[in-house]
Amino acid sequence: MDVSRETSPPLEAVAVLGDRLDLGRRYVDLLATEGVVRGLIGPREVPRLWSRHVLNCALPAVALSPGTSVADVGSGAGLPGLVWAIMRPDVEVTLIEPLLRRTTFLSEAVEELGLQNVIVRRGRAEEVKEQFDVVTSRAVASLGKLAQWCLPLVRRGGQMQAIKGSSADQEIAESISTIRAAGGTNPRTATYGEGVVETPTTLVIIDKAG
């Protein structure tokens, strides 16, 4: 397999990542090699790393305020937290992941990419005591479970921001009581990347009640 050919950035990546494109390319190469070898990424996903994964994660990062503290719950191979850290060197990102083989990969990726704004923490969300401005996640669990895990980590006035698919509004409707019980309010969706990528990113945003 010619990894470099399969992981070449599409034109959309140039538009979305701008001067962070080289870092993004290096991260995609890590996913396509070490990520596959270690079982973090399926081999069939390699040709879709940019379109389905990295760009999907990168688009919402533009909306983060400078200096924001971010936690990525269940970071896995770094999606979306590591992508947000690449996109936004002006925010602080904590990657929370319970599995050792994943945190090992994340730590090595952070070092390889020279990222100064990332902390890797091995553990479950329930074990984390600090709070953050924004707590994010992607492809981890249903919205109701995410609310129970993520909202306790959000400071008052902060937000939970979960990357979801086309059923996001339905998930909100089904999880509204759980969201409120966990301290969340005003759940809504936002879309990023319309007119830029073929499949825009849907983000569920939930405010932490003050």
Binding-site annotation, residues for S-adenosyl-L-methionine: 74, 79, 125-126, 138
* Cβ-based neighbours of 65, under 8 Å, separated by 6 or more: 133
Feature table: binding site: 74, 79, 125-126, 138
Task: Give the whole-angstrom CA distance, residue 15 versus residue 74.
Answer: 28
Among 35, 22, 183, which Cα is nearest to 104's?
35
For 50, how many CA atoms within 13 A lie in the half-sphere containing its CB?
25
User: How many CB atoms within 10 Å of residue 66?
Assistant: 8
Task: Give the whole-angstrom CA distance, residue 208 versus residue 201.
Answer: 22
